A = this chain, B = another copy of it.
Amino acid sequence: MAPSPMTTSSPPIELSDRVASGRSSEVRKVFQAAMRRPGIISFANGSPFLGELPFDRLADEAHRILTELGSTALQYGTSNGIPELRRHIVDLMALEGIAADPEQVIITAGSQQAIGFVAHATVNPGDVVFAEGPSYAGAMAVFSSYEAEIVHVPSDEDGLIPADLERLIGGARAAGKRPRALYTVPNFQNPGGMNLSAERRGLLGRICQDQGLLLFEDNPYGLLGFDGGTMRAIQPDAPEITFYFGSFSKMFAPGLRLGWVLAPETMHQHLTDIAQTAALNPSVFNQLMMAAYLDNPSWRDTLATYRGLYRTKLEALVGALTEHMPAGTTWNRPTGGFYLWVTVPPGIDTHELVHEAIERGVAYVPGTAFYANGAGRSELRLSFCLPSVEEIRHGTAILGGLFTEALA
């Protein structure tokens, strides 16, 4: 009897060089393990808390859009997005000192996709992309998927250290490599939680310009400062080289899958072409939903509610860490965003222990996920946005117990 085609063991399919050379995502493995365990307290996900969203109003807007504009909402759209939403985006960016025209904005299905489009347009195999150490795992995965080398730049509480960037650019050049771009999350950095100081913003823009680097400025968290303030972006000081990425996933919700990129003018048509080739266009229905949400000024009140909520959660987390973590554990004090960065004493391997933590009902992301070079075994990222204050206290107690045991 001939074997069924579905059970024949066939030779594996040869992968493209770019995929064969990549490494699998550690974050994904943590998330998958965590999702298999119902009732887990997750400090892992960078998922916003959605409980304060005006779902009834959103439901009414969706109903109105599909009833009144259905044939537009469910049809193909333009690759750069709808003008109504691009105008809102320009207003949002103005809060950070960015003067843009709606025609310059390209809306994407999330800022993750926008980072991919820009990498596709600008990164060649072997190029060096500099990034904070630690840096956002998802962006590093994009650059790796285009065969770039990630080089981490040391950071302190004021963010990435400009002098170290200059030194590392020089080192890369001396080694015959091609420095291509700096990727940075200046506001409430993922995963480190720190804010890039105003002075360093200016310095980094100038260094990138002088050294011929592109600047990838990724800003999902800029409106989530606890005090409601927003810092000036780097883009206004270096518009000719800056690709600015924005997102609705953290200030509103990830479910509409909407973000954007503001690119140097000479790149606009190239990126629009890439967007069309990669995905045709972002959902018009979702864009109309997002524009309708922003049409009503109450979105600012909702955001203020979230800022207060996240501050309360962070305070609960810091209190619980103080109570439960073994001596020698340190952490920073973010002033906004989603993430707290924790350093544990020698003897605790966060990479090894994450599986036992999940067994005990708590998930986090080990520091190793945020370095391209294997560092991070004494570090971990705790997201305080999604769990409740009660879960934060309970989960931190479990983690503290696990780490204390590991030290003994």
Contact = CB atoms under 8 A, between A and B. Distances in A.
A123 B16 contact: yes
B74 A47 contact: no
A64 to B, nearest CB: 8
Contacts of A17: 124
Contacts of A2: none
A120 interface: yes
A297 interface: no
A25 interface: yes
Contacts of A66: 55, 58-59, 62
Interface in A80-124: 99, 109-110, 112-113, 116, 120-124
A141 B16 CA distance: 18
Which residue, of A63, A79, A145, A237, has the highest number of chain B Cβ atoms within 10 A?
Answer: A63
A370 B62 CA distance: 37
Contact of A12 (B249, B266, B283): B266
A277 interface: yes
Interface residues of A, number: 88
Given A5-B240, A59-B62, A120-B145, 8 more contacts: A51-B71, A59-B65, A62-B62, A62-B63, A138-B276, A255-B283, A255-B284, A257-B283
6 contacts: A18-B120, A19-B274, A50-B71, A53-B74, A142-B277, A256-B283
Interface of A: 5-6, 8, 10, 12-19, 22, 24-25, 28, 35, 45, 47, 50-51, 53, 55-56, 58-60, 62-67, 70-71, 73-79, 99, 109-110, 112-113, 116, 120-124, 138, 141-142, 145-146, 214, 236-241, 249, 253-257, 264, 266-267, 270, 273-274, 276-286
